Structure 1
């Protein structure tokens, strides 16, 4: 397979962009990433006209695939033709807000922003403003965007910045604990409970190989935060409107967080983020309250139209049944392949999310540390390239999950399973 055009483009990119990319994960593949020319249904075509089954789906936003249904395309084109943006409210913002609040019971009011990172930044600031407290509890290995309050590693006794440029004084207000570890959470609240503004967690860790909560864990988080007057924030940037259908992952787990962050699917493939929750908390945002939040492009009419029509289409055309069924077929087929060829590896996922984790003992991971011990270099340096040669595009590292779209077919699933057989 030739990649001459991608190599040339990467060479040019290195001269004008740090690392040759605009998001670090895209350069995870060595010696260079392939450059996409266009999408086509459940596939992408690269700059050298190679065609791949695409399970990355933009890292999650493309619930419907690359080919937008007519009602979605028409809404986007109509809004774009009316003018790019205005710096003033539009009706479609209200329409999408009403749709979300109607289908996600915990969200009584919502504020749209421009990215998942911006959503979690706003949620953390809002939690601190609402409670008058400083500390945020996060899960080790959880990812909440490129923001100072969560780019923190270590543990609650010794939190450290995980990136250059983040002051230690920021990290001291963030308390990392292992996911699924109730005793660690109790210890943190015993030590810092009076100053914990919120516990921030993904319902399912989606940037660390897909790690599920153990039975009762989210119920425990709901109870301990209420007991101490802290907020429970669910980061549903990945799982929102993908796991659990229109009710999101919190609906599947039957948990009501105080705040929820959204991104990806809620914008229909366009830049978006949102934070929503109980009205009494959301009303603390300016201009209703004193917690500042604003953005020039927030509630962008094209994005709002794309998100609204994507969710309407999903509701009206049994999209979740389709993607969840194909996801189950993928995980079932992968489990058979792994059992036969690599029994120490693990197939993880739920609904339309899936991943083969190169664990060392075949046990399903219960925390990020389990995934971190996986054979990450083998996955990235050998396996990913082998899958690309089989014309299958997977997420660029061991940790990012993969996604099924409405445009994928059973033939795509079978081709992918055959590719896994060859690559493993």
Structure 2
């Protein structure tokens, strides 16, 4: 492939943007390719190279790049009526009603502008509602670029993971390994009266894809209820992707007190949302005392795109399509790994997928063919990742420096490191899956 156009654009970008990009995960080696346009389940770069796109904007593009006519019409109509108003619109109410109607734990919603803003606001809300300061998160987790969760370390011995964050922020953040029930119980025994909330993704999607072991979320639900703390599910990634319209919490049958949303809820436009029980969400101003506000919150174009995307998904068997293709892709990759790289682990569920370059383990009778589900009877159970640290121990350098470039050269666009999820969209086809599997076979 020729990348001269992308190289020239990157050269220009380095002069006016730090690292030549506006999000650090886009900084691939030796330089990123620059996208010219999307086309269904594909993207085309500045040099005319065409790729099967499994990044899908890091998750928002459930329907792919070619939006259905109903979604396009809604977006164009709202944009033609004026960009924004600084006043409420009916479409905000309609999207909030859709979320409350379909997501088990949601009675009321506050819209914001990004997943980061949603989790920042949810943490502030939990602290304001409970009158407590400490937040429990999973080790290695990512909940947006916010000071309270950009920490490293174990238990209550944490420190900021980035310069520019005062140590005092980390003092109020406690970490536990995902899937470690004993660690969660010990933290509550020590700090239970000071914990405002536990914040976790129902399925880790920003640090590999790690499925919960059976009973883990139920344990968090019991512990938070017992100690008067809140359970926050970060469904920015899993929301309206895992579990369909009920989201991941519907799949697992655990209702959090607060849920954060993003990505698909905006139909490809910037969005975030905080949902939950009315008595909690009403603590936001102006109904309550926990301050939250934003000039672009509930932007009419975003609200229209999100509402029509979710309506289209509900009425056109989108989830059946994307989940079936996701299952075919994960199962096909597992077959390839069994022959070529039996140490590696296929992870994901529904329309999420990834290969973790684990260092141990082997396939055998009864393994999880469609992605690791933490099944104790699986012969890989002792070796598949249980938390972020397990993913860190995988061959992340090999994934980034050898595997990702090899897939790119074969026309398959994956997230450029081993940690972020990859996604199937409604625009992908059986032919795309077959082509991708051939690329995996070659690259592995």
Establish whether TM, by shorter chain, passes 0.5: yes
Residue matched to 2:44? 45
CA RMSD of aligned residues (A): 0.5
Residue matched to 1:91? 90
Post-superposition offset of 1:157: 3.3
Residue pairs, 1:19-418, within 5 angstroms: 19-27=19-27, 29-362=28-361, 363-418=383-438
Other structure's SS at 1:214 match:
coil
CA distance in 1, matches of 2:328, 2:111: 35
Post-superposition offset of 1:217: 0.4
Post-superposition offset of 1:156: 1.2
Residue matched to 1:420? 440
CA distance in 1, matches of 2:140, 2:67: 34
CA deviations 1:224-251 (Å, max 9, x no partner) are 0000000000000000000000000000
Residue matched to 2:15? 15
Query: Please, which runs of 5 or more residues in structure 2 have no aligned partner?
Result: 362-382
CA distance in 1, matches of 2:40, 2:196: 43
Post-superposition offset of 1:350: 0.2
CA distance in 1, matches of 2:160, 2:181: 24
CA distance in 2, matches of 1:180, 1:302: 39
TM, length-normalised to structure 2: 0.95
CA deviations 1:65-114 (Å, max 9, x no partner) are 00000000000000000000000000000000000000012000000000
**Conserved 8 A contact 2:156-2:173:** no
CA distance in 1, matches of 2:262, 2:429: 25
CA distance in 2, matches of 1:406, 1:324: 9
Residue matched to 2:369? none
Post-superposition offset of 1:364: 1.6
CA distance in 1, matches of 2:355, 2:183: 28
Post-superposition offset of 1:141: 1.8
CA distance in 1, matches of 2:358, 2:288: 48
CA distance in 1, matches of 2:425, 2:139: 29
Other structure's SS at 2:44 match:
strand
Post-superposition offset of 1:218: 0.5
Other structure's SS at 1:154 match:
strand
TM, length-normalised to structure 1: 0.99
Structure 1 range deviating more: 206-215 or 156-165: 156-165
Post-superposition offset of 1:336: 0.3
Post-superposition offset of 1:24: 0.4
**Conserved 8 A contact 2:61-2:264:** yes
Other structure's SS at 2:157 match:
coil
Q: How many residues align?
A: 423
CA distance in 1, matches of 2:195, 2:147: 17
Post-superposition offset of 1:254: 0.5
CA distance in 2, matches of 1:157, 1:315: 43
Query: Please, which runs of 5 or more residues in structure 1 have no aligned partner?
Result: none
